């Protein structure tokens, strides 16, 4: 029996919300698979809330409790940080973990990014900032895909964008090094200019998992190439076997 029928818990990218998963849902839900995409604190329907990693993990844990266990957890960007923290802190309900568009780049440029982002938000306002970010990040030619991320990012409070960005860039402060002890995959868009392939491979090795590439996709693979993303995810899940009963 493969684990493909296990429920999927989907955690969105930085500045996104649950609705940004819509283009991928019809592919991910093939065969009637149960899907649960949720808004992290500060995003979408939870826009009034502050963002913290602890709060995001609690939100994901509550959503996890609403579905049959075990779940396959998939997180992109910011969602990957939350997914990793969830799997490490509450592994019992997690069957497998997929991290997408992760880890974030480090170095001096990354260290400046929160301040640069705040300056751009102050200068341009939320709507123009969101448009510029999407135009420089998404590769999808479908305007509806681009509008999903633009709308969600423009509706996210600047302090939430900064706090969640700081958390993502500082992901090692919220997670532990070493093997997870559960099936794990680090998935990267083939044209992702924000996450180097060597960094994704190194993280996969560090966690005791594997790595794979979504052809044609950039940093937000589930919006750039939703069908290819679902195919890559299905290949990983179809390769897993349920653990034998004790």
Q: Going from the N-terminus, what domains does the chain have, and what CATH number goes with each? A: 8-238 (3.40.50.1820)
Q: Which of 35, 30, 71, 27 is nearest to 240 (CA)?
A: 71
d(CA 193, CA 101): 10
Range in 65-69, 168-172, 202-206, 238-242 with the lowest mean pLDDT: 65-69
Nearest Cα residue to 138 out of 149, 125, 123, 122:
149
The pair of three-digit structure tokens given for residue 242, joined into one six-digit string: 């349920």
36 within 8 A of 9, measured Cβ to Cβ: yes
**Distance (Å, whole) CA 133 – CA 153:** 9
Length of the chain equals: 246
CB 36 within 8 A of CB 60: no
Which run of H or of E encompasses 221? helix 221-224
7-51 pLDDT, tens digit per residue, is 999 999 999 999 999 999 989 987 778 899 999 999 999 999 999
Tens of pLDDT, residues 74-97: 999 999 999 999 999 999 889 999
Note the pLDDT tens digit of each residue in 140-160: 999 999 999 999 999 999 999
Contact 101, 80 (CB under 8 A): yes
pLDDT digits (tens, 9 = 90+) for 152-197: 999 999 999 999 999 999 999 999 989 999 999 999 999 999 999 9
> Residue 97: which H helix or E strand, with range?
strand 94-100
Query: In which residue are the tokens 């693979």 written?
Result: 221
């Amino acid at each position: 029996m493969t684990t493909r029928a296990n429920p999927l818990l989907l955690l969105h990218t930085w500045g996104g919300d649950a609705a940004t998963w819509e283009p991928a849902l019809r592919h991910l839900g093939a065969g009637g698979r149960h899907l649960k995409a949720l808004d992290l604190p500060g995003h979408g329907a939870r826009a009034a809330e502050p963002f913290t990693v602890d709060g995001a993990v609690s939100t994901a844990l509550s959503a996890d409790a609403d579905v049959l266990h075990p779940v396959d957890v998939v997180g992109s960007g910011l969602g990957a940080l939350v997914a990793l923290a969830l799997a490490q802190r509450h592994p019992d309900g997690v069957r497998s973990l997929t991290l997408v568009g992760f880890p974030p780049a480090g170095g001096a440029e990354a260290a400046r990014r929160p301040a640069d982002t705040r300056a751009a938000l102050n200068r341009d306002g939320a709507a123009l900032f969101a448009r510029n970010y999407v135009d420089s990040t998404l590769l999808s030619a479908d305007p509806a895909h681009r509008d999903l991320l633009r709308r969600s990012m423009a509706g996210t409070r600047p302090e939430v964008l900064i706090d969640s960005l700081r958390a993502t860039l500082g992901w090692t402060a919220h997670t532990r090094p070493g093997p997870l002890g559960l099936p794990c995959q680090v998935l990267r868009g083939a044209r992702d200019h924000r996450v180097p392939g060597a960094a994704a491979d190194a993280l996969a090795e560090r966690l005791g998992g594997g790595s794979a590439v979504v052809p044609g996709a950039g940093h937000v693979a589930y919006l750039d190439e939703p069908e290819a993303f679902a195919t890559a995810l299905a290949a990983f899940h179809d390769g897993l076997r349920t653990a034998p009963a004790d």
